[in-house]
Amino acid sequence: MTEDCIGPIDDTHVTAKVPRSIYAAFHGRKHYTNQNMLAAVDLDMRFTYVHVGWEGSAHDASILADSLSRPDGLQTLRVRKTRYHLNEFSPMHRPQNAKELFNLRHSSLRVTIERAFAALKNIFKILDQKLFHTFDTQVKLVFAWCILHNWILG
Protein backbone atom coordinates (compact mmCIF):
# COMPACT_ATOMS: atom_id res chain seq x y z
CA MET A 1 0.00 0.00 0.00
CA THR A 2 1.10 3.53 -0.44
CA GLU A 3 1.99 5.82 2.44
CA ASP A 4 -1.36 7.58 2.00
CA CYS A 5 -3.36 4.36 2.32
CA ILE A 6 -4.57 3.15 5.70
CA GLY A 7 -5.92 -0.11 4.31
CA PRO A 8 -9.40 -1.53 3.90
CA ILE A 9 -11.97 -0.42 6.50
CA ASP A 10 -15.11 -2.29 7.50
CA ASP A 11 -17.12 -3.22 10.54
CA THR A 12 -18.29 -6.40 12.16
CA HIS A 13 -20.48 -7.31 15.10
CA VAL A 14 -19.27 -9.15 18.20
CA THR A 15 -21.45 -10.47 20.99
CA ALA A 16 -22.00 -8.19 23.97
CA LYS A 17 -23.65 -8.64 27.32
CA VAL A 18 -25.23 -5.38 28.44
CA PRO A 19 -27.59 -4.24 31.22
CA ARG A 20 -31.31 -4.41 30.48
CA SER A 21 -31.53 -0.62 30.53
CA ILE A 22 -29.53 -0.39 27.26
CA TYR A 23 -30.45 -3.77 25.77
CA ALA A 24 -32.53 -2.32 22.91
CA ALA A 25 -29.67 -0.22 21.53
CA PHE A 26 -27.34 -3.23 21.40
CA HIS A 27 -29.93 -5.47 19.76
CA GLY A 28 -29.56 -4.55 16.09
CA ARG A 29 -30.08 -6.61 12.96
CA LYS A 30 -28.46 -9.63 14.59
CA HIS A 31 -30.54 -11.91 16.80
CA TYR A 32 -28.43 -11.19 19.87
CA THR A 33 -27.02 -8.20 21.70
CA ASN A 34 -23.78 -7.07 20.10
CA GLN A 35 -21.29 -4.29 19.80
CA ASN A 36 -20.20 -2.89 16.48
CA MET A 37 -16.47 -2.96 15.74
CA LEU A 38 -14.93 -0.73 13.05
CA ALA A 39 -11.42 -1.65 11.95
CA ALA A 40 -8.75 -1.08 9.33
CA VAL A 41 -6.19 -3.71 8.38
CA ASP A 42 -3.02 -3.85 6.33
CA LEU A 43 -2.48 -6.31 3.49
CA ASP A 44 -1.10 -8.87 5.97
CA MET A 45 -4.47 -8.85 7.80
CA ARG A 46 -3.01 -7.05 10.83
CA PHE A 47 -5.33 -4.61 12.55
CA THR A 48 -4.01 -1.07 12.21
CA TYR A 49 -7.05 0.66 13.70
CA VAL A 50 -9.85 -0.64 15.93
CA HIS A 51 -12.87 1.31 17.22
CA VAL A 52 -15.14 -0.84 19.33
CA GLY A 53 -17.96 -0.39 21.81
CA TRP A 54 -20.70 1.06 19.63
CA GLU A 55 -24.20 -0.32 19.92
CA GLY A 56 -25.11 -3.10 17.51
CA SER A 57 -27.92 -0.94 16.16
CA ALA A 58 -25.57 1.96 15.29
CA HIS A 59 -25.25 2.86 11.62
CA ASP A 60 -21.83 2.33 10.02
CA ALA A 61 -21.70 5.96 8.90
CA SER A 62 -22.12 7.17 12.50
CA ILE A 63 -19.27 4.99 13.71
CA LEU A 64 -17.03 6.09 10.85
CA ALA A 65 -17.84 9.76 11.49
CA ASP A 66 -16.99 9.31 15.16
CA SER A 67 -13.71 7.59 14.27
CA LEU A 68 -12.77 10.41 11.91
CA SER A 69 -13.59 13.11 14.48
CA ARG A 70 -11.41 11.75 17.28
CA PRO A 71 -7.90 13.20 17.81
CA ASP A 72 -6.51 9.63 17.87
CA GLY A 73 -8.98 8.38 15.26
CA LEU A 74 -8.71 7.45 11.63
CA GLN A 75 -6.73 9.83 9.47
CA THR A 76 -7.91 9.64 5.87
CA LEU A 77 -7.68 11.65 2.73
CA ARG A 78 -10.84 13.64 2.11
CA VAL A 79 -11.79 12.77 -1.45
CA ARG A 80 -15.32 13.89 -2.16
CA LYS A 81 -17.25 13.17 -5.32
CA THR A 82 -14.82 10.44 -6.36
CA ARG A 83 -16.25 7.04 -7.21
CA TYR A 84 -15.11 4.32 -4.82
CA HIS A 85 -17.23 1.18 -4.67
CA LEU A 86 -16.69 -1.68 -7.12
CA ASN A 87 -20.28 -1.52 -8.35
CA GLU A 88 -19.66 2.05 -9.56
CA PHE A 89 -17.16 0.78 -12.13
CA SER A 90 -17.69 -1.42 -15.17
CA PRO A 91 -16.17 -1.88 -18.62
CA MET A 92 -18.38 1.04 -19.72
CA HIS A 93 -17.48 3.15 -16.66
CA ARG A 94 -13.73 2.83 -16.23
CA PRO A 95 -11.73 4.99 -13.79
CA GLN A 96 -11.34 8.49 -15.20
CA ASN A 97 -8.41 9.71 -13.10
CA ALA A 98 -5.70 8.55 -10.71
CA LYS A 99 -7.93 8.94 -7.64
CA GLU A 100 -10.67 6.79 -9.12
CA LEU A 101 -8.14 4.16 -10.18
CA PHE A 102 -6.71 4.13 -6.66
CA ASN A 103 -10.22 3.83 -5.19
CA LEU A 104 -11.09 0.97 -7.53
CA ARG A 105 -8.00 -0.98 -6.53
CA HIS A 106 -8.44 -0.15 -2.85
CA SER A 107 -12.09 -1.24 -2.78
CA SER A 108 -11.14 -4.58 -4.34
CA LEU A 109 -9.04 -5.23 -1.22
CA ARG A 110 -12.13 -5.43 0.97
CA VAL A 111 -11.76 -9.20 1.03
CA THR A 112 -8.63 -8.65 3.14
CA ILE A 113 -10.54 -7.18 6.06
CA GLU A 114 -13.27 -9.80 5.76
CA ARG A 115 -10.55 -12.47 6.03
CA ALA A 116 -9.03 -10.66 9.04
CA PHE A 117 -12.40 -10.59 10.83
CA ALA A 118 -12.93 -14.29 10.03
CA ALA A 119 -9.45 -15.18 11.33
CA LEU A 120 -10.00 -13.14 14.52
CA LYS A 121 -13.35 -14.81 15.20
CA ASN A 122 -11.94 -18.24 14.36
CA ILE A 123 -9.04 -17.89 16.80
CA PHE A 124 -11.08 -16.19 19.52
CA LYS A 125 -14.39 -18.02 19.31
CA ILE A 126 -15.41 -16.28 22.52
CA LEU A 127 -16.24 -13.24 20.34
CA ASP A 128 -19.43 -15.07 19.42
CA GLN A 129 -20.31 -15.94 23.03
CA LYS A 130 -21.80 -13.81 25.77
CA LEU A 131 -19.16 -12.77 28.26
CA PHE A 132 -19.66 -12.46 32.00
CA HIS A 133 -17.64 -9.25 32.27
CA THR A 134 -18.79 -5.66 32.47
CA PHE A 135 -19.29 -3.99 29.11
CA ASP A 136 -16.21 -1.79 29.61
CA THR A 137 -14.13 -4.94 30.13
CA GLN A 138 -15.70 -6.55 27.06
CA VAL A 139 -14.56 -3.57 24.95
CA LYS A 140 -11.02 -3.88 26.34
CA LEU A 141 -11.02 -7.62 25.62
CA VAL A 142 -11.82 -7.02 21.95
CA PHE A 143 -8.82 -4.67 21.74
CA ALA A 144 -6.66 -7.28 23.47
CA TRP A 145 -7.77 -10.01 21.07
CA CYS A 146 -6.92 -7.78 18.10
CA ILE A 147 -3.45 -7.21 19.55
CA LEU A 148 -2.99 -10.95 20.10
CA HIS A 149 -4.24 -11.61 16.55
CA ASN A 150 -1.53 -9.25 15.23
CA TRP A 151 1.10 -10.89 17.43
CA ILE A 152 0.13 -14.38 16.21
CA LEU A 153 0.51 -13.20 12.60
CA GLY A 154 4.01 -12.04 13.49
- pLDDT, tens digit (0-9, with 9 covering 90-100), for 82-139: 655 556 666 677 777 777 777 777 667 778 899 999 999 999 988 888 778 889 999 9
* Domain span at 147: 9-79+110-153
85-90: long-range pairs with CB below 8 Å, 24+: none
Mean pLDDT of the chain: 83
Q: Round to whole Å and give the CA distance between 40 and 67.
A: 11
Q: Round to whole Å and give the CA distance between 110 and 64.
A: 16
Q: Is the pLDDT of residue 80 over 60?
A: no
Looking at the domain assignment, is residue 50 inside a domain? Answer: yes
DSSP state of 93: B
Looking at the domain assignment, is residue 93 inside a domain? Answer: no
Q: Is the pLDDT of residue 1 over 50?
A: no
| More confident: 53 or 76 | 53
Residue 83 has a pLDDT of 54
Cβ count within 10 A of residue 59: 12
> What are the residue ranges of helices labelled H in the chain?
23-26, 60-69, 98-107, 110-123, 135-153
Chain Cα centroid distance, residue 115: 12
**Number of residues assigned to the chain:** 154
Query: What amino acid is encoded at 126 in this protein?
Result: I
Looking at the domain assignment, is residue 26 inside a domain? Answer: yes
**Region 41-59: what's the mean pLDDT?**
91
pTM exceeds 0.85, yes or no: no
Give me the number of domains the chain comprises: 1
Q: Are 149 and 120 in contact (CB under 8 A)?
A: yes
**Region 57-86: what's the mean pLDDT?**
77
